[in-house]
Amino acid sequence: MKIQWFSAAAAAMLLLSGCAFPQTGVESLLAAPLLNEEQNEVYAALVRETGSSIKLLYPQRGENRSAFLLMNLDEEATNEAVAFYQSTTANVTTSIHMAVLDKQEDQWRAVHDISLEGTQVEDVAVMREGGVFLLAVGLTYASENTSLLKVYQFNGDIMDEVYSEDYQAKLICDMDSDDQDDIVLVRGGTEEAAPFAKLLAYEDGGFAEKGRAVTDPTITRYSSIRSGYLKNGQQAVYLDGYRGSAAMTTEILGYTENHGQGHLANLTYDSHNVQSYPVDRPLGAECADLNNDLIIEVPGLTPMPGYSAEQAGAFYLTTWYNFLDGQFEKVKSSYVNASQGYLLDFPERWEGKVSVRKSAQSNEMLFYEYQAGDNPVKSELLYIRMVKRSEWESGVYEDYEVISSSGGGQIFYLAKIPAGANTALRMSMEEVKRNFSRYY
């Protein structure tokens, strides 16, 4: 199961719709009239030309999640459309098809159609290699940990396969800053070989390896891979991975160039000197760039006072780190409310002293000075509550103040500082507003 912090939008949907779960599964989107006019034309053409009942497949991750990718893939100036679908006529599971449609004499026509391996389309990315556009398709297999990358070039008639390789994690980005997209692939280990990551760059119509680094063999699965920078400006790849089913960590790969020779290195894992890090953590947190400076913040989790890691439903303090020179340097600590989509940065005077629990009210958290014993709430310091706009407007929250909003102004975040809050720890409302941020 993929554990991910809910987006604020999903949280807002939850609150507004009253659904137990946000709608998942992209088929549900097609049921709604979400295709625009051009997409509808492409869809009609696809149905006409395949002559069968089809089910569109939507990429499950990445930037391109719509049913059709409309863009110019070749030297001819107008757009092509790329669609993924499965036939639904047979009673058996049919393979994934990728169709390319082109608009000819004002009519969309399927010009190319191939079947692909895998059971789902993970993602689709357009790679820019100078004047050449490539299509990178990630394919997953049901109940398998390994995925398959296929890279195609459309030559005007057919999709030429340019590259194909298995991966556990992949990233398409420009690692060597030459304005051409590269591929970082993480390969799982085998009985003969340790797992590794490699960098592939486009050269002479194909992909060539430009660097390779070992990866942590205790990682069983990767949950995210993203590019960013270290504090010294070095480009890096951040890998969030699971160690079995109860632990996560983040590996960082750095890229350097020496006399034109690229070099990929694992900055956090060395098989001869395995270290533990403050970002070795229980499940539930992934890297993020909290301040949009492209330097990625890596989370570590420690139980809030009064909770233990063995306890189900324990609340954690998230400490965010930047990595540099072999060290994770603390940036700040926050309480992260994933379901309600916000962060509250803890001032240093709160760390180790303040804990959090649900209040008796729905969607409300109480921050309190902790004491050991049967009654852990020594002093109530702060309430934060998420409400619908209409609830706020009804006037029942007069003793609260609005500190933020989301969902196009339909969701309000409210705060209340109890009169008896311990003055040594008390945050002012101004400080609360400053320390509160929406979590996307």
Whichever of 76 and 160 has its CB closer to Ca ion, that residue is 76
Give the C-alpha separation, 338 to 343, whole Å.
8
Whichever of 236 and 354 has its CB closer to Ca ion, that residue is 236
Q: How far is the CB of 218 from Ca ion (least distance, A)?
A: 27
Q: How far is the CB of 262 from Ca ion (least distance, A)?
A: 9
Out of 69, 219, 295, 387, point to the residue binding Ca ion (CB under 5 A): 295
Q: How far is the CB of 113 from Ca ion (least distance, A)?
A: 17
Question: Residue 38 interacts with Ca ion (CB under 5 A)?
Answer: no
Out of 165, 280, 289, 351, point to the residue binding Ca ion (CB under 5 A): 289
Question: Residue 280 interacts with Ca ion (CB under 5 A)?
Answer: no
| Pair 331, 343: CB distance under 8 Å | no
Residues 6+ apart with CB under 8 A from 390: none
Out of 38, 174, 280, 286, point to the residue binding Ca ion (CB under 5 A): 174
Q: Which amino acid, residue 305? A: P
3-state DSSP call for residue 38? Answer: helix
Question: Residue 291 interacts with Ca ion (CB under 5 A)?
Answer: yes
Whichever of 287 and 365 has its CB closer to Ca ion, that residue is 287
Q: Are strands 377-388 and 411-416 parallel, antiparallel or unpaired?
A: antiparallel
Question: Residue 178 interacts with Ca ion (CB under 5 A)?
Answer: yes
Whichever of 74 and 113 has its CB closer to Ca ion, that residue is 74
Binding region for Ca ion (CB under 5 A) out of 54-62, 67-75, 267-275, 382-390: 67-75
3-state DSSP call for residue 348? Answer: helix
Out of 49, 74, 257, 391, point to the residue binding Ca ion (CB under 5 A): 74
| Pair 248, 281: CB distance under 8 Å | yes
Question: Residue 298 interacts with Ca ion (CB under 5 A)?
Answer: no
Residues 6+ apart with CB under 8 A from 214: 194, 195, 196, 266, 269, 270, 271
Question: Residue 72 interacts with Ca ion (CB under 5 A)?
Answer: yes
3-state DSSP call for residue 88? Answer: coil
Question: Residue 437 interacts with Ca ion (CB under 5 A)?
Answer: no
284-323 burial by CB neighbour count: b if 16+ within 10 A, else e?
A: ebbbbebeeeebbbbbbbbbbbbbeeeeeeebbbbbbbbb
Question: Residue 180 interacts with Ca ion (CB under 5 A)?
Answer: yes
Q: Are strands 132-140 and 120-129 parallel, antiparallel or unpaired?
A: antiparallel
Q: Which sign, positive or negative, has the C-alpha torsion 271, 275, 278, 284?
A: positive
Binding region for Ca ion (CB under 5 A) out of 32-40, 62-70, 103-111, 169-177: 169-177
Question: Residue 160 interacts with Ca ion (CB under 5 A)?
Answer: no
Q: How far is the CB of 179 from Ca ion (least distance, A)?
A: 7
What is the residue-wise DSSP string for 209-264?
Answer: EEEEEE--TT--EEEEEEEEE-TTS-EEEEEEEEETTTEEEEEEEEEEEETTEEEE
Out of 157, 166, 270, 293, point to the residue binding Ca ion (CB under 5 A): 293
Contacts with Ca ion: how many residues (CB under 5 A)? 12
Question: Residue 176 interacts with Ca ion (CB under 5 A)?
Answer: yes
Question: Residue 165 interacts with Ca ion (CB under 5 A)?
Answer: no
Binding region for Ca ion (CB under 5 A) out of 182-190, 239-247, 299-307, 377-385: 182-190
Q: Which amino acid, residue 88? A: T
Q: How far is the CB of 211 from Ca ion (least distance, A)?
A: 12
Chain residues in the site for Ca ion (CB under 5 A):
72, 74, 76, 174, 176, 178, 180, 182, 289, 291, 293, 295
